Amino acid sequence: MSGSPGTPSRQDQAKVQDAFGDEEFAEVKYKVLKWWQCGVLMVAQTVSLGVLSLPAAVASLGLVPAMIALVLLGMLATYTGYVIGQFKWRYPQVCNMADAGEVIAGRIGREVLGVDQVLFLVFIMASHLLTFIIAINAITGHGACSIVFGVIGLIISFVCSLPRTLVKMSWLSYVSFASILSAVVITMFGVGFLHPGKGVEATVPTDLIHGFGAVTNIVFAFSGHVAFFGLAAELKDTHDFTKALCLLQGFDISLYMIAAVVIYRYGGAEVASPALSSASPMVSKVAYGIALPTIIIAGVINGHVAFKYIYLRVFSGTDRIHKRDWIAIGSWVGIALGLWLLAWIIAEAIPVFSNLLGLVTALFASWFTFDFSGKVALTMLNILSFIVAACLCGLGLYVSGKAIHDHPSSMSFSCADNST
């Protein structure tokens, strides 16, 4: 890998053992994932909420600009994901973005990226809790206060987060995979049958707020990179990461393009975000019901990466992570509960789906998806990657902040129905 970061002394770290150490006789073993299990976990973690915002993004940009943005951003996300795999091969001790930050910029880099990745993952967890609230409101016809639904989502997500190894969660990823695919297909058929849309255009006039807000939603659909180091760290062979990445990117780009085009084509300029609300009330209820597993599981997988980072930091230099005693288990439970509570607070404070995704993209996804990998390989492509990240962050913060301020449903900690 040309242009790799780090001084010679840091490059020597490639020879050290990874964070999980020798697991031959360990009670809890982490490095057991096969490449296809890792790939399905990546699909479950990445292909969830992002696809639900894409038809509305197409409506804001027009069909042709949106498809161009989807393909180009998908290709750039594939490249930056590959660079993360290269980085992991050269520095096997790297298990998360904070470790990578230490290789690049020493202790300062470690602490800055460590805090940033946890905050990013907590915001993603919050977006999943918010979508759970929207889904239950749609299914029940706003049968109770939205805050109650948020607490229910919090409890379910916390319970699903209790396993400490990704391999024990891999079976959940298969459920998530089937869940989101089935929900999107049902929505496509439902919208196609109802055909409510009018004003479908190849290009549409737009303004900075709506246009750039749509771009941030597209970026969010490819923003799984923050978890890639953690997923690669639990592979039996980290060199299999490229195969897992290809599985992810081949599936998500294809699904995103098909779902966005079909739902926008039949849903029209007023297509909803999340897209599952675009069909008839009955079909929407069915689609949201089928989508509930991926809404929960994808949030749990992202949360798992955040918990694992803090857990490894707490027990750094000890063998506690491989134990099943009350200290090890209690610490994991406490970390998970604390971060899920923080995510719940964010979800209740920003109750508008597309606006929360835009804010997450501007603050975190822009940098973790495009900028980090722009520090470590091909110069010209990485300059472009950095520029994309900077624009997404600066303009994204402005447009998402204004959208949150202007939206009539942006009432924090409200019992109101946010599914319409």
Q: Where exactly are the structural domains of the chain?
A: 29-406
Residue type, 385: S
d(CA 418, CA 413): 11
Per-residue pLDDT, 66: 93
pTM of the prediction? 0.81
Per-residue pLDDT, 3: 42
Q: Binning pLDDT at 50, 70 and 90, where does residue 72 land?
A: very high
Residue 239 is classified by DSSP as G
Per-residue pLDDT, 383: 67
Residue pLDDT, tens place only, 300-313:
999 999 999 999 99
Per-residue pLDDT, 371: 62
Residue pLDDT, tens place only, 359-402:
776 666 666 776 666 565 455 566 667 677 777 777 666 666 67
- Which of the residue ranges 120-134, 200-214, 282-296, 350-364 would you say has the lowest mean pLDDT? 350-364
d(CA 294, CA 159): 15
Higher-confidence position of 294 and 375: 294
Q: Give the count of beta carbons closer than 10 Å to the beta carbon of residue 291.
A: 27
Per-residue pLDDT, 277: 86
Per-residue pLDDT, 375: 61
Q: What is the mean pLDDT of the chain?
A: 84
Return the percentage of the chain with pLDDT > 90, whole number. 41
Per-residue pLDDT, 397: 67
Per-residue pLDDT, 361: 66
Residue pLDDT, tens place only, 90-117:
898 899 999 999 998 899 989 988 998 9
Q: Binning pLDDT at 50, 70 and 90, where does residue 196 land?
A: low
Q: What is the mean pLDDT of residues 132-149?
A: 91
Place of tokens 């998500």: 252
Q: Does domain 29-406 fall into CATH 3.40.50.2000?
A: no
DSSP codes of every residue in 131-200: HHHHHHHHHHTS-S-HHHHHHHHHHHHHHHT---SSGGGHHHHHHHHHHHHHHHHHHHHHHHHH------
pLDDT tops 90 at residue 244:
yes
Of 101, 336, 178, 61, give the one whose Cα is nearest residue 328.
Answer: 336
Residue pLDDT, tens place only, 48-64:
877 888 999 999 899 99
Per-residue pLDDT, 287: 93
Q: Binning pLDDT at 50, 70 and 90, where does residue 150 land?
A: very high
Per-residue pLDDT, 355: 67
pLDDT tops 70 at residue 214:
yes
Answer positive or negative: Cα dihedral of 120, 356, 145, 56: negative
Residue pLDDT, tens place only, 312-357:
999 987 888 888 899 999 999 999 999 999 999 998 887 766 667 6
Higher-confidence position of 23 and 33: 33
Angle, alpha carbons 385-387-390 (nearest 5°): 110
d(CA 412, CA 347): 9
d(CA 201, CA 169): 42
Q: Per the structure block, which two tokens stand in for 326?
A: 């009350």
Q: What is the mean pLDDT of residues 67-79?
A: 93
Per-residue pLDDT, 183: 93
d(CA 50, CA 250): 15
Contacts of 310 (CB under 8 A, 6+ apart): 118, 335, 339
Q: Which residues of 34-65 are buried (b: 16+ CB within 10 A; e: fewer)?
A: bbebbbbbbbbbbbbbbbbbbbbbbbbbbbeb
